[in-house]
Amino acid sequence: MGQWFYKICLVVLIWSIQTANIELSFGIAAFVTLASFRTKLSSQALLLIIILFFLVIIGSISVFSPENDYYFFLKDLIYFTRPILVILAGYFLTMRFKNKMSFLNIIVLMGFYFAFVHALSFIIYFNIIPGHTSGIRNIFGRYNHVETAALLLIICVKDLPVKRSRYKFFYQAFVACLVLSFLLYMSRTMIMVVFVGSLAYYGYLKLNRKGTIALVSFMIVGAGFALFLQAYDPPTENPGVVDGLLLKIKNSVNESFSLGNINVQDLDRRELWKHWRAYEAFKVYQEIEAEKLWVTGQGFGSTVDIGFEARLDGELTQHLSLTHNGFAYLFLKTGVLGLLIYFVMILYLYSFSYSPRRGTMADIGNNLLVATTFYILITSFVVTGIFKPYDMATLLIGAAFALKQLKPSEDSDTGDQRDT
């Protein structure tokens, strides 16, 4: 099949991921994997697929339970299988491109597209822009991880074809639009992914002298910012955009890791919402403890009872099949064994930071794998990591493993081609 077919496949795959429709992106990833399939798969990529497949096996044990809800079982099976398909789709598509950098280039171009549409919406609906952070995010969107991945690639990968475009003005204008759109989402997660991912890409998070200096510097800056937030008391009633963002950052740790002084029996919804992610994780721990399913968890199809009916995504529900915290989600479905396998996957990706430098395209692949390590870690604390429908880390992982397979002769064959 022609190059344009594979490029269209990638565009459609990226679009499906951004829709956050798990079934749609699962189906398209499966189609793209079959359409671009090659019999050769690198041993390093295969090992990662095997690691992720073990999670599927552990969660699937519950299929033998007569009390299993098979609708939720199938839903969880899709959630855990989809990352494997996206990685394979990314790998095979990259290997199909004559210019291997086209894969990363298309992600950047798609990021430009989504950024332009997002920024344009602010212009069109300027008269209804609210004066507080939550209102802006509710109307104009809370995230766009295609833009996150695009900005990360622009910062890190110097050989992107789009950077060599003859239309420098338009490239610079779209980069400015991307940065503006990225900031207008006011997403803590997106900002952390780009910041920490960039540090990881450039080798500042390795356990060596340079990494130690970077870590100490980061801790000093972080401690200073934490002291500022502790002393700063933004208004909780009708906060402005800046105050609202600072309030959200200040509450990040409590929301994810602490129940504070909340009486979980009293369930004051106004106070509980400030600690919602931590509350979900607490309820997961309670259920696993009560049923003594520490090793394998409750399996696919399981839900966690939050103790009351809450309106989530417009519907009243008491039993959640998903939690915000990715580690709590894994613990519920696959237990301690699943958590250990997940950490093995993260350490495996991080290990490529110690690959020898060869001055070739393989270096980009290794560096991207390290950047995705921290991408996954950050998102696993707040949005279920690689299992989130709009996750772009798995797509980058597939491309990175493909780039790692290139020989120096293939670098020269693809490096000078324009793609814009």
pLDDT of residue 2 exceeding 90, the answer is: no
Q: Specify the pLDDT at position 263.
A: 63
pLDDT of residue 418 exceeding 80, the answer is: no
Q: CA-to-CA distance for 56 and 244, rounded, in angstroms?
A: 40
Q: Specify the pLDDT at position 291.
A: 85
Q: Which of 29-33, 35-39, 138-142, 393-397 has the lowest mean pLDDT?
A: 138-142
pLDDT of residue 329 exceeding 70, the answer is: yes
Helix pair angle (3-18, 70-96), 10° resolution: 140
Q: Specify the pLDDT at position 385.
A: 86
Q: Specify the pLDDT at position 417.
A: 44
Q: CA-to-CA distance for 40 and 43, rounded, in angstroms?
A: 9
Q: Which pLDDT tens digit goes with each residue over 149-190?
A: 999 999 999 889 999 888 889 999 999 999 999 998 988 889
Q: What is the mean pLDDT of residues 60-85?
A: 86
Q: What is the mean pLDDT of residues 205-228?
A: 75
Residues 62-71 as b or e (16 or more Cβ within 10 Å = b): beeeeebbee
pLDDT of residue 25 exceeding 70, the answer is: yes
Q: Specify the pLDDT at position 412.
A: 46
Q: Which pLDDT tens digit goes with each residue over 276-327?
A: 788 888 888 888 888 888 899 999 988 888 877 777 666 778 888 888 888 9
Q: What is the mean pLDDT of residues 34-50?
A: 93
Q: What is the mean pLDDT of residues 187-197?
A: 91
Give the E-state strand segments of 97-171 in sequence order. Answer: none
pLDDT of residue 380 exceeding 60, the answer is: yes
pLDDT of residue 59 exceeding 90, the answer is: yes
Q: Specify the pLDDT at position 214.
A: 73
Confidence of residue 207 (pLDDT cuts 50, 70, 90): confident
Is residue 36 packed enough to be buried (19+ CB in 10 Å), middle (13-18) or exposed (0-12)?
buried
Q: Specify the pLDDT at position 416.
A: 46
Q: Which of 127-131, 238-242, 334-338, 382-386 has the lowest mean pLDDT?
A: 238-242
> What is the overall mean pLDDT for the chain?
85
Residues paired with residue 320 on neighbouring β-strands, in sequence order: 304
Tokens standing for residue 27: 């189906």
Kindly report the number of other CB atoms within 10 A of residue 7's CB atom: 19
Tokens standing for residue 373: 């390590």
Domain ranges of the chain: 3-53+81-202+360-414
Tokens 């110097």 locate to 158
Cα dihedral 276, 277, 278, 283, rounded to 10, equals 90
Q: Which pLDDT tens digit goes with each residue over 98-151?
A: 998 999 999 999 999 999 999 999 888 888 777 667 777 778 888 899 999 999
- Total-model pTM: 0.87
Evaluate whether 104 touches 409 at the Cβ level (below 8 Å).
no
Residues paired with residue 316 on neighbouring β-strands, in sequence order: 311
Q: Where is mean pLDDT largest: 260-274, 298-312, 368-382, 396-410?
A: 368-382
Identify the helix (H) or strand (E) that includes residue 225: helix 209-231
Strand 315-320, strand 304-312: pairing:
antiparallel
Give the E-state strand segments of 266-314 in sequence order. Answer: 304-312
One-letter amino acid of 412 = S
Helix pair angle (241-250, 209-231), 10° resolution: 120
Q: Specify the pLDDT at position 89.
A: 97
Tokens standing for residue 321: 């099949």
The half-sphere exposure of 82 on its side-chain side, counting CA atoms within 13 A, is 27
Question: Degrees (nearest 5) of the Cα angle 31, 33, 38?
Answer: 135
% residues pLDDT > 70 (the chain): 83
Q: CA-to-CA distance for 110 and 10, rounded, in angstroms?
A: 10
Q: CA-to-CA distance for 42 and 358, rounded, in angstroms?
A: 18
Q: Specify the pLDDT at position 415.
A: 47
Top pLDDT among 270 and 159 is at 159
Q: Specify the pLDDT at position 40.
A: 87
Q: Specify the pLDDT at position 420.
A: 39
Q: Which of 159-173, 208-222, 282-296, 354-368 has the lowest mean pLDDT?
A: 208-222
